[in-house]
Structure formats: structure tokens, C-alpha cells
Amino acid sequence: MANASEPGGAAALGLKLAALSLLLCVSLAGNVLFALLIVRERSLHRAPYYLLLDLCLADGLRALACLPAVMLAARRAAAAAGAPPGALGCKLLAFLAALFCFHAAFLLLGVGVTRYLAIAHHRFYAERLAGWPCAAMLVCAAWALALAAAFPPVLDGGGDGDEDAPCALEQRPDGAPGALGFLLLLAAVVGATHLVYLRLLFFIHDRRKMRPARLVPAVSHDWTFHGPGATGQAAANWTAGFGRGPTPPALVGIRPAGPGRGARRLLVLEEFKTEKRLCKMFYAVTLLFLLLWGPYVVASYLRVLVRPGAVPQAYLTASVWLTFAQAGINPVVCFLFNRELRGCFRAQFPCCQGPRTAPATQPCDLKGLGL
């Protein structure tokens, strides 16, 4: 990088530090605000949002650990201080960056599996996996696997003379086989996550296929409609508590549902739609993880398999900055794809509402004052 005493070098340094500061502020503000929203809103105390809370906290910690180190390295390189960060500090920062990267990959894989179970086996998911113990086990497993994957420091803190080095996760020349193995592990985890979502897409598509109806006359003497040609709607209505008259012959011995049980049966469809919306949101987060980390993974493959100078420096710098942007993009994506989060945000933070919704609360305030 050019010396800071030069006008062009000073402008480039200022622009870079401003961009890094903006990324740091956006990441910390978005992830902390998202964490407060989940903690304060009781309706969000569910397993999917616990997993999302852990993901956002990890992104905030990654931004807090990596971006200030990159800013300090940029200032030292511009000032030509000649005092690069110590080897221990570089290895620690590279270890933290690899830890957070593998944690996000393993956690998104676990989220994809739970989303598949929530759609394909909804009753089993609601009874066994919808509580906080399942989320706690997935979080502990993701951190343990990430720690095991990132602890051997085969991914180092970059090369000499690059101010983006502290968190670039470049592989050491003497550890190329180990670095290639860890890159293959990361690609395998991300690929498995997308295969799970692809299997879920095929499952939903197969259940939407139209099949020709076979009209067989039903047997009915007292409007109960039973027999081979019955569609089951009359029996379902009677079981849900809406039936009148005598008990259908096929349902003798079955107790009809009361008002509470009938309401619970009607809520299942809405819960199923909620799970599908959560599935879309989590897939958007997973796809962004692939798009933002993909260029750097490709560059790392080329540096391991071909030679270190095979990748242009501009492409490598752009790919590193994309990984920095991934630390603050998840809250934005979640708020865009989840209307439940938007509603809870308006309820918990009324000061952030628009001018159209503010006058609607004025009559209630005046009523509370006795006016």
C-alpha cells in the first residue's frame, strides 16, 4: 500500500478505514439488536430463533475480533512502521476467524436438518425437537466441531506486506496438505447443507403433484357418508366436534374433540406455514454464506493446488472483503425474509416505527391520560 504521506495513499487509507468502521458498526449494531429482540420477545423463544441467536452472536464476535486487527494492520502498513503483528497474534486471529467460519458452516448444516424434519416430519419435530434442549445440543455440537476443525493452525494469517493478512486465513506453504483437507471439509459441509435443502424442495414438490380423482359413490343412510367412496370430510368434521346426529358406523368408539382440541387441530396448518417461512429465511442465510465465502475458498484452492501467485491480488482482496461483509449481513436478511421478526421488532421498539403508525397510537395515549 502507498505511504500515508502521499495524497493518494492518505485518501485510500481513509476510505479503507471508513469502510471497515462502517462494517464493524453495522455488524455490531445489527447482531446486538437482533439478540436483544430474541431475548425480550417471548414469542421468539423457540429452537429456530435460539440457533439464529447463536449465529448472530458468533458473527458479532468475529467482527469485533477481526475488523479492528485489520484496521490496525492497515494503519501500520500505511505508516511504514516496520513492526508487523507478532506471529502468535497472527495465529490467534487466524484461529478465531477459522473457528467462526466452521461454526457457521456446521450450525447451518444442523439448521438445515431441523428444517427438513420440521417440514417432512412435522409431528415428530413438534414433539421432540421444538424445545430449547435440541437447540442447545446443536449449538454445543457446532462449537465442538468448529473447535476441532480450526484448532490445528494449518490456516495461517496471510502473507507478508498485506494489510488484510490478520484475518485472511491463508494457508502456510509447509502445511498445504492440511490446508487442502480443511478446505475440502468446509466445502463438504456447505455442499451437504445445500443437498438437505434440495431434498426438502423435492419433498415439497412431490406433495404438490396433482393426482386424478376417483369418484366412487359413498354409502349414506343418515348423512354420515361412510364406505369406500367417502372422502373422510364428514368423519373429520365429526371428529373435530362439528358433527351432528348419530355416530358414523366407522367412528363408533371414537370420542369427538372438544372446543380446545378442535382449535388445536386448526392451528397445525398455520404452524406448518410458519415452518416453511423459517425454512426460506434460513436458506437465504445459507445461500449468502456460500456466495460470500465461495470466492475466497476458490482462491484458496488455487493457491494450494497451483501456486501462491496464481490468484491476482485484487481478486484475493475482494474475496477477503466479502468474508468481512458476511459478519453483518445476516440480521438484514432475517428481517427481510421474516415478517414475524418485523412485527416483534415494531412491538419491542416502537420508537423505530414510521410516521404512519405513530398517529395511530395517539388516541390510546390520550385515553390513558383521561382526555
Q: What is the mean pLDDT of the chain?
A: 74
Question: In Å, how far are 20, 158, 203, 229 from 71, measured between CA atoms?
Answer: 7, 15, 47, 73
Considering only 128-142, 198-212, 282-296, 334-348, which range has the smallest mean pLDDT? 198-212
CA distance 371 to 242: 46
Q: What pLDDT does residue 9 have?
A: 65
Q: What is the largest CA-CA distance in the chain?
A: 97
Residue range 239-247: mean pLDDT, rounded: 60
Question: In Å, how far are 49, 125, 135, 285, 298 from 194, measured between CA atoms?
Answer: 20, 20, 20, 12, 18
pLDDT in tens, 2-34: 455 555 667 877 888 888 888 889 889 888 988
pLDDT in tens, 300-335: 888 777 776 777 888 888 888 888 888 888 888 988
Scanning the chain, the segments in alpha helix (DSSP H) are 7-40, 47-79, 87-120, 122-124, 132-150, 176-207, 233-239, 259-305, 313-337, 339-348, 362-368
pLDDT in tens, 117-130: 888 887 788 788 87
pLDDT in tens, 26-50: 889 888 988 888 888 888 888 889 9
Q: What pLDDT does residue 158 have?
A: 45
CA distance 274 to 115: 11
Q: What pLDDT does residue 231 have?
A: 55
Residue range 280-293: mean pLDDT, rounded: 92
pLDDT in tens, 137-155: 999 999 999 988 887 654 4
CA distance 134 to 141: 11
Residue range 169-176: mean pLDDT, rounded: 41
**105 — pLDDT class (breaks 50, 70, 90):** very high
Residue range 250-268: mean pLDDT, rounded: 47
Contact 106, 189 (CB under 8 A): yes
Q: What pLDDT does residue 123 have?
A: 77
What percent of the chain has a predicted confidence (pLDDT) above 90?
16
Rg of the Cα atoms in the chain: 28
